[in-house]
Amino acid sequence: MENQNQIQKNQNKKNKFFRRGDGGNIFLIIFVALFIAMIARTFTGGVAPKFLPDGTPAPQPIELTFSDVLRRASEIKTMDVRGNDASGVLQDGTPYTATITYDPELLSQIAENGATISIDTSKTWVDYLGTWVPILMGLFFIWWIFRGFKGGAAGLGRSLAQQNPTKITTGKTKTTFKDVAGIDSEKQELMEIVDFLKDGKKFRDVGARVPRGILLSGEPGTGKTLLARAIAGEANVPFFAASGSDFSGIIVGLGVAKIKEIFEMAKRNAPCILFIDEIDAIGQRRSTSSYNDQDREQTLNQLLIEMDGFANDTGIIVIGATNRADMLDPALLRPGRFDRQVYIELPDLSGRREILDLYAKKVHIGSDVNLQDLARGTTGFSGADLENLLNEAALHAVRNGRKEISSVDVEEARDKIIMGPRKVRKMRPEDIKLTAYHEAGHAFVSIMYADITDPIHKATIIPRGRALGMVQHLPIDDKVSMTIAEVRANLAIALAGRSAEEVFFGPDKITTGAESDIAMATRLARYSITTAGLSDKLGLAAINQVNVFGTRSALENASEKTAELVDAEVRAWLDAAHADATKLLSKNKDTVRKLAEELLARETLTGDEIKQIVLGHNATKKTTKKEPKKKIKKDATK
């Protein structure tokens, strides 16, 4: 019995290629046959023998062009013509081959010169194959097209969908909520879905309707796909995954057929999770002007119909993921389709620590690596960014012959991700010196405002990406807002590099190196004045509103007079911050010079080393910290 089953399995494998109903394999067979026929026709035109019957080498035929045939017509002794190919011998016995145009007058002219001409009009099986194969292919294609209509209008669509199968990931996933870290509130929000898939009866007994669709939105890399897999793994139900781009194609109606295909598959395996990644590819907002995008709108309409046609007890949960939730059609977001929208934010400090702890189990971490400090220094990193950071650190450790990740590897990986790879640049000594004083200015003013701003982590003059140097800060915790004192202190820190250039090299030696600092300071000042309402002159009016996609328009809700006032106020804030930084640096030139010389000698200084250099001067610690604090408190009370 086992032998029969094995024979049957082998026979099924052999016939699998021919049992597919999509017709694609038949087309493939015909194309291969036609290709072989073309090759055979090319190489079966007769090959000249290399040796004569007596064993002597046979003369090889020469190739004549059509003009050669006309010019040497009197030298031709025999000519065998088949189509446009001709062959024969010349009067001196030399064989030849030629490609000619079949012309009776030409052949008559050659025959008048005494040549013997024979014309072969017979057809071989290769000729018949080349004639009938295209005809059979056309007939088969017509039959295949009309076969699609046997199930009605949707039959053709199903046939086309089979010809272009959707890339669907199926089966049960082993991912659970234990594999997802840093988004505890989002996991709690989705636990109801898991409970419904495990035991839907208790929901139905109360009369509750579980959301039919869940939309996961958020920044790239925050774990939307991973969370969808975890829901299916936690509930131990089948997981079907497809991308929104899989439902689009060059054939009109293909997207509709594919939507039907994947939903029918989900219904057969309910309860299950149906996950559509990047759903904005088919769910974009419809408009009256989208005449050239009718196929996408038909696909969206079919998706709306399928989701709205669910019964409450089907057990199918549709999960969509997108980075552009604002682009989706309102009909897709209404209750009954995507009832619940879960926005996955970038992880906070505790979330980043959880993610690092999770990924640290997969690599060898040295005892000198402080994951808490690493979490503090990766504000704005997503889960994917943190995983990539540890991977880059592991690669750096391998390149340097280490068997575990050290703090040096982590620092190098973080600097590479934030600033870019290290650049080997041939810089002039004066440029290197100016960069050192520029970064020393940032570092010194940062220490002066250390009681109200984030602690300084390190300063470096090693070029990375477009930056010639950088001063990094390490937040103690995640901030959700900033006081006006912090804003003004950060403006002074940002402009301290330009101030250092002016103090130590003179106003005529300033460079373009402060470009990014000035841009950052300008954005912060304009935001504080026009959006956060921190300016006394502008008041609490929100002038610059945030548009879609995070862009900002040029001063919405503002008259020309108000716009001029905004520009003047931004300039006043920046000038005040620049003057503040210049005053601090001018009063402590010796300390800043010492800090710059240490940077020139060592290229990189840690936060503790910077504090030791700066705060070791007692007069600096007493005089400079009181003055800015007093000024900032005064500004905060306005």
State the pLDDT at residue 554. Answer: 53
State the pLDDT at residue 626. Answer: 38
CB-facing half-sphere around the CA of 176: CA atoms within 13 A = 5
Q: Kindly tell me the sign of the dihedral angle through the C-alpha atoms of 592, 593, 594, 599.
A: positive
- Class of residue 506 by CB neighbours under 10 A (exposed 0-12, middle 13-18, buried 19+): exposed
- Amino acid letter, residue 151: G
Q: Quick one: tokens of 222?
A: 């925050």
* Strand intervals (E) in 314-403: 316-322, 340-344
Rounded CA separation 548/546 (Å): 7
Rounded CA separation 432/468 (Å): 9
Rounded CA separation 87/556 (Å): 84
Q: How far apart are the first and last CA of the chain?
A: 93
Q: Quick one: tokens of 78?
A: 């025999």
Contact criterion met (CB below 8 Å) for 87 and 98: yes
β-sheet with 456-460: strand ranges across: 470-473, 456-460, 604-606
For every residue of 296-330, DSSP letters joined together read HHHHHHHHHHHHHT--TTS-EEEEEEES-GGGB-H
CB-facing half-sphere around the CA of 87: CA atoms within 13 A = 12
- Write the Ramachandran bin of 423: left for phi over 0, alpha for psi from -120 to 50, otherwise beta: beta
| Dihedral angle of Cα 256, 260, 261, 264, to the nearest 10 degrees | 170
The C-alpha angle 395, 418, 455, rounded to 5 degrees, equals 115
Contacts of residue 531, defined as CB under 8 A and 6 or more positions apart, other chains included, come to 542, 543, 544, 545, 546
Contact criterion met (CB below 8 Å) for 585 and 444: yes
From residue 37, how far is each of 28, 34, 43, 83, 126 by CA, in Å? 14, 5, 10, 17, 6
- Amino acid letter, residue 484: I
**φ, ψ (nearest 5 deg) of residue 285:** -60, 130
Q: Tell me the mean pLDDT per 10 residues along the chain, length 638.
A: 48 46 57 63 50 58 77 79 79 80 73 75 65 73 62 45 47 77 83 80 79 87 87 84 75 74 83 87 74 72 79 74 87 84 88 91 90 87 91 92 91 85 78 91 93 89 83 81 92 94 90 90 92 88 58 61 89 95 93 92 89 68 38 34
Is 189 in the active site? no
Q: Quick one: tokens of 224?
A: 């939307």
Contacts of residue 420, defined as CB under 8 A and 6 or more positions apart, other chains included, come to 464, 465, 466, 467
Contact criterion met (CB below 8 Å) for 400 and 409: yes
Helix, strand, coil fractions of the chain, as percent rounded to 5: 55, 10, 30
- Output Rg (C-alpha) for the chain, integer angstroms: 39
For every residue of 456-469, DSSP letters joined together read EEEEE---BTTBS-
Contact criterion met (CB below 8 Å) for 278 and 321: yes
The C-alpha angle 509, 512, 514, rounded to 5 degrees, equals 100
Contact criterion met (CB below 8 Å) for 250 and 285: no
CB-facing half-sphere around the CA of 257: CA atoms within 13 A = 22
- Amino acid letter, residue 572: A
Rounded CA separation 349/379 (Å): 7
- Amino acid letter, residue 298: Q
Rounded CA separation 60/49 (Å): 8
State the pLDDT at residue 428. Answer: 83
pTM of the predicted model, to two decimals? 0.64
State the pLDDT at residue 92. Answer: 78
For residue 345, the 8-state DSSP code is: P
State the pLDDT at residue 578. Answer: 95
Contact criterion met (CB below 8 Å) for 236 and 195: no
Rounded CA separation 192/174 (Å): 19
> What angle do the packed helices 607-615 and 618-636 form, to 10 degrees?
100
Contact criterion met (CB below 8 Å) for 99 and 85: yes
Using DSSP's 3-state secondary structure scheme, residue 619 falls into: helix
Number of C-beta neighbours around residue 39 at 10 A: 11
State the pLDDT at residue 234. Answer: 85
State the pLDDT at residue 169. Answer: 52
Chain-centroid distance of CA 373 in Å reads: 29
Rounded CA separation 315/450 (Å): 56
Contact criterion met (CB below 8 Å) for 17 and 113: no
Q: Which of 411, 439, 502, 598 is catalytic?
A: 439
